[in-house]
Amino acid sequence: MSRVLLEVADLRVKAGGFLLRDINFEMMGDEYLVILGPTGSGKTVLLESLAGLRDIAGGRVCLNGKDITHEPPENRYLGFAYQDGLLYNFLSVRENVLFGARARGMAGDPGVIRRMEQLVESMGISHLLDRSPKNLSGGERQRVSLARAILTRPEVLLLDEPLSALDPQTRHAMQLLLKEIHSAEGLGIIHVTHDFSETLQLGTRVIIMNNGRMEQVGHPKEVFFYPATEFSAKFIGMENIIRGIIRKDNQGQLWFVLENGDLNFGPLSEGSFGTGQLPQTDEPAILLVRAGNIRLEHGDPPVTAVNCWEAVIRNVFFDRTHVDVYCDGKGLWRTSLSFFEWENLGLGEGDRVRLSVRPQDIHLISGEGHCDAEAMPSKGFKKYVF
């Protein structure tokens, strides 16, 4: 079993007018932790605070049980790779990779030179050693930056948006490389990004940040299906976010009732709620359903079952692998099915359809509180939020 590598308790950091606060988490030695959030949520400030590049206003950071809260960055022995690589153009690639070793007086050690040679070989950059970083591609710069960061074997590698500036193909290759580094080097990685697909592909755990606070912590897949707050749901691109209220029927069973209609979902159980606790009757709630979890069928015969309702197809968008279908029926619903399924249905815009959700796919969160929609990225979901 892996040990606790990094421990952050009640961390509080002031950065200009911005305040990072209530940051609490532990990181195990073999974890790939992703810090996910929109621009301005404080994820980079958090990463820089861990690296020692920010003044800490309160709380504690421990590495291997040792308090490093006020330790300067050069004494922390953490690797750090920035978005654009931050290479020194006035030095060769070799000197860039060796920079940390030189600063620590280890560059003359034959073991370090051997390690550098192995590292650049495995990362596919050995042919670049004598070149200037000026003429490298984005992917090559990123590889050099990674080699430089891990040459002196840090126990934690901090990555600030390492894939953001890369084209899709290079990004994919870099993701594979990051996975390899994570397993081969046996180090803990903290990876900051605003991209949830990166989180799903790389992370063993994710912290969602919002306005200087931790919004949710969990396994990426758990967050994908069961976001804990409206903010998390919107940020990870939950397709159907619907407001309603909790009602109790004559038999004492709880149902989710749509705000704008008589459509009921349920009966509800503890498992339907992110908190695992049943809410009180008449409490506001938000229904979250993934587009792929809404079943779409021909409208005939008429709807009789529970968790089922009629709708009309409004828009159909073809993607390479799937079809997004927007249906209007007591609200606008987004469903997603494979190209093959869609073709078999033989439906088109304007056709009547039947939508249904399995009770186990119903996920509810509290409808209390306010979600800051300003902080959302502009693509992905904005248009589908009711």
Q: Cα(325)–Cα(357) distance, rounded to whole angstroms?
A: 15
Binding letters toward another protein, positions 153-172, x by CB under 8 A: -----x--------------
Report how many residues bind another protein under the rule CB under 8 A.
24
> SS3 for 282?
coil
- Could you tell me the smallest distance in angstroms from the CB atom of residue 162 to another protein? 13
The stretch near another protein (CB under 8 A) out of 74-82, 250-258, 291-299, 356-364 is 74-82
Q: Is 155 exposed, middle or buried (0-12, 13-18, 19+ CB in 10 A)?
A: middle
Q: Does 120 bind another protein (CB under 8 A)?
A: no
C-beta contacts of 69-76 below 8 A and 24+ residues apart: 74/103, 76/51, 76/52
Between 73 and 359, CB nearer to another protein = 73
Q: Identify the burial level of 299 via C-beta atoms within 10 angstroms of its C-beta, where 0-12 means exposed, 13-18 middle and 19 or more buried.
A: middle
d(CA 222, CA 84): 31
With CB under 8 A as the contact rule, the residue among 29, 73, 292, 367 that binds another protein is: 73
Q: Which of 10, 18, 70, 90 binds another protein (CB under 8 A)?
A: 90
Q: Rounded to an integer, what distance in angstroms lies between the CA atom of residue 199 and that of residue 232?
A: 13
Q: How far is the CB of 40 from another protein (least distance, A)?
A: 18
In the 8-state DSSP scheme, what is residue 358?
-
88 binds another protein (CB under 8 A): yes
Q: Report the residue number, 78 or 355, with the smaller CB distance to another protein.
A: 78
Which one of residues 43, 76, 143, 363 is an interface residue with another protein (CB under 8 A)? 76
Q: C-beta of 52: minimal distance to another protein in Å? A: 8
Residue with token string 């590698």: 157
Of the pair 125, 241, the CB lying nearest another protein is at 125
Q: Phi/psi at 235 (nearest 5 deg)? A: -65, -35
Backbone phi and psi for residue 217, each to the nearest 5 degrees, phi listed first: -125, 140
Residues in 42-71 at the binding interface with another protein, rule: CB under 8 A: 48, 51-53
d(CA 247, CA 255): 5
**Which residues contact another protein (rule: CB under 8 A)?**
48, 51-53, 72-74, 76-80, 82, 86, 88, 90, 99-100, 103-104, 148-149, 152, 158
